[in-house]
Chain A
Amino acid sequence: MFEIVRTIVIRDLTLAMRRRSDVMTTLFFFVIVVSLFPLGIGPELDTLRMIAPGVFWVAALLASMLALEKLFAADFEDGTLEQMLLAPQPVFVLVMAKVFAHWLITGVPLVLLSPLLGLQYDLAVETLGVLLLSLLLGTPTLSLIGAIGAALTLGLRGGGVLVSLLVLPLYIPVLIFGSGAVEANVSGLGETGHLLMLGAILLLALVAAPVATSAALRISAE
Chain B
Amino acid sequence: MLEVINLECIRGDRRLFSELNFDLSAGELLHLHGHNGSGKTTLLRSICGLITPTEGEVRWQGENVRRQRDEFARELVYIGHKNAIKADLTGTENLRIACQLDGVPVSEKQAWDALERLGLRGHEDLPVRVLSQGQKKRVALARLLLSRSPLWILDEPFTALDKAAVSYLQTVIQEHVDTGGMVMLTTHQEVALTRGQVKQLGLGWKRDGDV
Q: Is the CB of B50 within 8 A of A15?
A: no
Nearest residue, chain A, Cβ from B99: A7
Contact B97 A222, beta carbon cutoff 8 Å: no
Contact count A vs B, C-beta below 8 Å: 72
* Contact flag A88-B74 (CB < 8 Å), given A14-B89, A78-B83, A80-B84: yes
Of the stretches B25-33, B101-109, B168-176, B189-197, the one at the interface is B101-109
- A85 & B101 in contact (Cβ 8 Å cutoff): no
User: What residues on A are CB-neighbors of B48 within 8 Å?
Assistant: 86
* B71 close to A88 (CB less than 8 A): yes
Task: Give the chain B neighbours of A47 by CB distance below 8 A.
Answer: none
B159 is an interface residue with CB less than 8 A from chain A: no
A3 with B105, Cβ < 8 A, contacts A82-B84, A83-B84 known: yes
B88 at the interface (CB under 8 A from A): yes
Tell me if A201 counts as interface (CB < 8 A to partner B).
no
Identify the closest chain B residue to A84 (Cβ).
Answer: B101
**Chain B contacts for A18, CB-based, 8 A:** 88-89, 127
Contact between A86 and B103, CB atoms less than 8 A apart: no
Q: How far is the CA of A87 from the CA of B102 in the complex (A)?
A: 6
- The CA-CA distance from A88 to B49 in the complex, in Å, is 12
- In Å, the complex CA distance between A162 and B17 comes to 34
Q: Are A78's CB and B73's CB within 8 A?
A: no
**A80 in contact with B70 (CB, 8 Å):** no
Residues of A within 8 A of B89 (CB): 11, 14-15, 18
B 150-194 binary contact with A (CB < 8 Å = 1; else 0): 000000000000000000000000000000000000000000000
Q: Who on chain A is nearest to B48 by CB? A: A86
A7 near B97 with CB under 8 A, answer yes
Interface residues of chain A, those whose CB is within 8 Å of chain B, are: 3-4, 7, 11, 14-15, 18-19, 74, 77-80, 82-90, 221-222
